A and B are shown apart, each in its own frame.
Chain A
């Protein structure tokens, strides 16, 4: 579920030259052409969509390295915020 939303927002904001549905969940997004600017735009879109805020420790390249990494980061945030 989260993954579908991530894929949808990635295709809107990722600015990646290949079609997002051609990418596997674990493909390296930076190798695929995700720029640091686009990764921030994507992060903002995800924050808006899920009504969350990325905490400092997730603001690094690794969190946005693949579709599954983004989904994992999001699940962590959503869980944390539900607990809180």
Chain B
């Protein structure tokens, strides 16, 4: 706690920028080797940024989702893998903070996360189910005050580097696929047998390997609320907003690189506007759209926060889905514009204008929770839900 003293005197954004500086130095190595962004994550822990959302009563700082999104945006400009790891951790944190209240074990766990700056992973995807968060095949076995769980998890992002995992399963062996609970297991309570290697186009440092997950622990580690409620009230909206924030970060850094390319060209040819300048103006306008989209989504979330009816409303789900769709599609257009501006210098690795990593990382955005699935879901809701036509909501 004494160590944390001087850090707390800085604003969250300043602390995030210091961590981002470290993460950025290793971004290319992390990407090239597809390894965990250890330095960036260590820097985030050193800045005491892991338990920000936890209430001060349990040792946190009671940060809002908007503040966390700002951190994600800052990290996204430096190293998308660090930003994504941090964002996914914070999605778990939002679920814990919102839904652990009243459970003694989870309240104690929140305190530990803040004290020890723990990194929490999640295991929701499962063989035979795919990425559908709201379905499980595996079922938790309750035996007195102990529970056992085995899950063929197709993806556990940064599973090997996490300190604990939040795992979804059916409530019991007779339960329907959608009757789920979430359980926290600590590192010493589970084993991971790697079944798939994360060798991907982008977001390589998230190390989202597949594992056969086997765990045993006390039954009190099951979250008290049904996972359906957790998913509906915090997980989906928080995911779209934090991802949107870091995707904005990736695109913002691409635009910054393109702008410095145009400026350096302008300096070499005084009196003449460089050919990329017009595209830069277009990219700037698109970046502003992305920013406005994320910020409006955050505002809507903060207004609805703590009101289950508002968070469960169809119009809210439509709005959050739209944040995800709009952001994930537009960043690709922006980075492509930047590539056209920087030309070969952008296409080539190892230049100050390199954009390959940005473009590859950004391509994950439309796939993590498939945009087609989200559009399908929105189109179903629009069969009954009237589109919000007001400007100010």
Q: Is the CB of B384 within 8 A of A40?
A: yes
Q: Is the CB of A59 within 8 A of B314?
A: yes
Fill in one digit per residue for B278-315: 1 if any A CB lies within 8 Å of its CB, else 0.
Answer: 00000000000000000000000000000011001111
Q: Which A-chain residue is minimally distant from B318 (CB atoms)?
A: A59
Question: Is the CB of A21 closer than 8 A to any CB of chain B?
Answer: no
Q: Is the CB of A60 within 8 A of B383?
A: no
Q: Is the CB of A60 within 8 A of B314?
A: yes
Interface residues on A, range: 20 to 34
Give the total number of A-B pairs whose CB atoms are below 8 A apart: 57
Cα A67 to Cα B384 with chains together (Å)? 19
12 additional A-B residue pairs with CB within 8 Å, beyond A35-B178, A40-B384? A31-B228, A34-B178, A36-B380, A37-B377, A43-B384, A44-B384, A56-B313, A59-B314, A60-B313, A62-B308, A62-B309, A62-B312
Task: For A31, list chain B residues within 8 Å (CB).
Answer: 171, 175-176, 178-179, 226, 228
Contact check: which of A37, A40, A43, A59 meets B313 at CB < 8 Å? A59
Question: Is the CB of B162 closer than 8 A to any CB of chain A?
Answer: no
Question: Is the CB of A32 closer than 8 A to any CB of chain B?
Answer: yes
Task: For B312, list chain A residues within 8 Å (CB).
Answer: 60-62
Q: Is the CB of A44 within 8 A of B314?
A: no
Task: For B309, list chain A residues within 8 Å (CB).
Answer: 57, 60, 62
Please give the distance in Å from B234's CB to the nearest CB on chain A: 13
Q: Is the CB of A47 within 8 A of B228?
A: no
Task: For A47, list chain B residues within 8 Å (CB).
Answer: 384
18 A-B interface contacts by CB (under 8 A): A17-B176, A30-B228, A31-B175, A32-B176, A32-B179, A35-B178, A36-B380, A40-B381, A40-B384, A43-B384, A54-B384, A57-B309, A57-B313, A59-B315, A59-B384, A60-B309, A60-B312, A60-B313
Question: Could you tell me how many residues of chain B have their Cβ less than 8 Å away from some Cβ of chain A?
Answer: 23
Cα A56 to Cα B232 with chains together (Å)? 17
Q: Is the CB of B384 within 8 A of A37?
A: no
Whether A37 contacts B380 in the complex (CB less than 8 A), given A31-B226, A60-B309, comes out as yes
Q: Is the CB of A33 within 8 A of B315?
A: no
Cα A44 to Cα B385 with chains together (Å)? 11
Question: Is the CB of B177 closer than 8 A to any CB of chain A?
Answer: yes
Cα A78 to Cα B226 with chains together (Å)? 32
Cα A84 to Cα B338 with chains together (Å)? 57
Question: Is the CB of B386 closer than 8 A to any CB of chain A?
Answer: yes
The CB with the most chain A CB atoms within 10 A, among B171, B177, B178, B232, is that of B178
Cα A40 to Cα B380 with chains together (Å)? 7
Within 8 A of B (CB), among A1-44: 17-18, 28, 30-37, 40, 43-44
Q: Which B-chain residue is minimally distant from A37 (CB atoms)?
A: B380
